[in-house]
Structure 1
Amino acid sequence: MAYEEASYKDKKVISIGVVSELTGLTERQIRYYEERNLIFPERSPRGSRKYSFSDVETLMEIANKIEDGVQTFEIRQEMIRQNGKEDQRELRKRMLRGQLNAQFGIQDK
């Protein structure tokens, strides 16, 4: 399996203060969404949270849903369902690739 470098959108380089400015959420709201397992920042060696552009987009989606009256528990359940669908798609792709490789005698590296 080839090593794939993370897209610039997925690199965790943005501080919580900048994320707060970009999203309009307070730092406390952002930490709360982390506590509710809706967002997963990385930590720097000094313990500072680092976010990606994808995290910023996710936070905006969460804020919109909260504004529409959706509870954090419901958002989390939707995220779990979505991740399950993506995992199933990836598994199907790997199985199909394996079948094609076997059919044509290609060795996976």
Structure 2
Amino acid sequence: MNYKKKKVITIGVVCELTGLSERQVRYYEERQLVFPERSKGGTRKYSFLDIERLMEIAEKMADGMQTFEIKRMDKQRNATLREKMLKGQINAQFGQRATKRP
């Protein structure tokens, strides 16, 4: 597993690293922009990728974007990625068939 994906960082450390308040980090979670895991005791656990994401969100917010705009951009980006992946799979499928034929 990639170390950047491991959710091991507490919200306090996230705040120290990002300069965001706990309230801001929780708000971004409420708006479904970040998705921390929870320990058995209910403690939020973040990854390094989450920290990068939080910094990206904070920069966009500082530039005047609203959370709904960020979420809409994410959905568009994910749809584009899904489309590219599907096209790649289709191309790979047809490419394999073309090479198997005499």
TM-score, length of structure 2 as denominator length: 0.89
Letter in 2 for 1:12: K
Q: CA deviation at 1:52?
A: 1.0
Letter in 2 for 1:94: Q
Unaligned runs of 5+ in 2: none
Distance 1:102 1:27 in 2: 53
Identity of aligned residues (%): 53
- Do structure 1's residue 93 and structure 2's residue 91 form an aligned pair? no
Letter in 1 for 2:28: Y
2:71 to 76, 89, 92: 76
Name the counterpart of 2:6. 11
Name the counterpart of 2:27. 32
After TM superposition, list the pairs within 5 Å mapping 1:43-82 onto structure 2: 43-82=38-77
Letter in 2 for 1:42: E
Q: CA deviation at 1:100?
A: 2.1
Structure whose residues are more often helix by fraction: 2
CA deviations over 1:61-101 (Å, ceiling 9, x no partner): 11111111111111111111111111111111211221222
Superposed CA RMSD: 1.2
Q: CA deviation at 1:44?
A: 1.6
Distance 1:73 1:15 in 2: 26
How many residue pairs are counted as aligned between the two chains? 100
Distance 1:98 1:44 in 2: 41
Letter in 2 for 1:71: Q
Unaligned runs of 5+ in 1: 1-5
